[in-house]
């Protein structure tokens, strides 16, 4: 499968990129190389390019997903790009809404219009809010979305946009909500590297 992977030079995206390539997929990345992205994260598999661009750029995303770029037609999208630092979302909430909501809406719309076979949205457990210790299992798929920060609200908005495109247009969407990711290549602003 030829996959467009957004956020390919970020922490999660770079690991997904390697895993998908090792599983035999052709992966073309898309990254704006802003905070959290690092060119060193994509040094493996140099034969698989990463396009420098923004998920909010309608023309760019259209050209990629419509198959008119030199990369040909994509069958899948893995959307891992996001503004993801909770503390920075408190000082710049509109920037997070712009990227995480409008960028996701752009990708979903272009995926629908260009018959993408599978759209995988990388979300976060932050959409559930704070866990309480008296819960047997803090969250499951039926838990309500109760975001506590602009970052979490922007990701919850992406979750609900994915649901809307699935219900309205039957776009094949998968949402995964990662929790407490850490490891090599994680941005130094995050808890464990700090």
Active site (catalytic) residues: 125-126, 151
How many whole angstroms separate alpha carbon 102 and alpha carbon 156?
13
Q: Which residue has the tokens 């996701």?
A: 104
125 C-beta neighbours (distance < 10 Å), count:
17
CA nearest neighbour of 165 among 157, 153, 154, 176:
157
Residues in contact with 54: Cβ distance below 8 Å, sequence separation at least 6, in sequence order: 32, 60, 103
């Amino acid at each position: 499968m030829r996959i467009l992977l957004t956020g390919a030079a970020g922490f999660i995206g770079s690991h997904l990129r390697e895993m998908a390539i090792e599983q035999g997929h052709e992966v073309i990345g898309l990254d704006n190389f802003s905070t959290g992205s690092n060119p060193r994260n994509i040094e493996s598999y140099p034969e698989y390019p990463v396009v420098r661009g923004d998920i909010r750029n309608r023309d760019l995303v259209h050209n990629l997903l419509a198959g008119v770029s030199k990369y040909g037609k994509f069958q899948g999208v893995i959307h891992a790009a996001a503004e993801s630092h909770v503390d920075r979302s408190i000082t710049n909430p509109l920037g997070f809404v712009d990227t995480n909501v409008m960028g996701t809406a752009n990708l979903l719309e272009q995926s629908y219009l260009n018959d993408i076979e599978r759209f995988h949205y990388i979300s976060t457990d932050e959409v559930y809010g704070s866990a309480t210790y008296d819960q047997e299992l803090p969250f499951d798929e039926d838990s309500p979305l109760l975001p506590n920060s602009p970052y979490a609200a922007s990701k919850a908005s992406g979750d609900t946009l994915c649901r809307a495109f699935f219900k309205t247009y039957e776009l094949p969407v998968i949402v995964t909500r990662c929790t407490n990711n850490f490891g090599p290549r994680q941005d130094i602003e995050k808890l464990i590297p700090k």
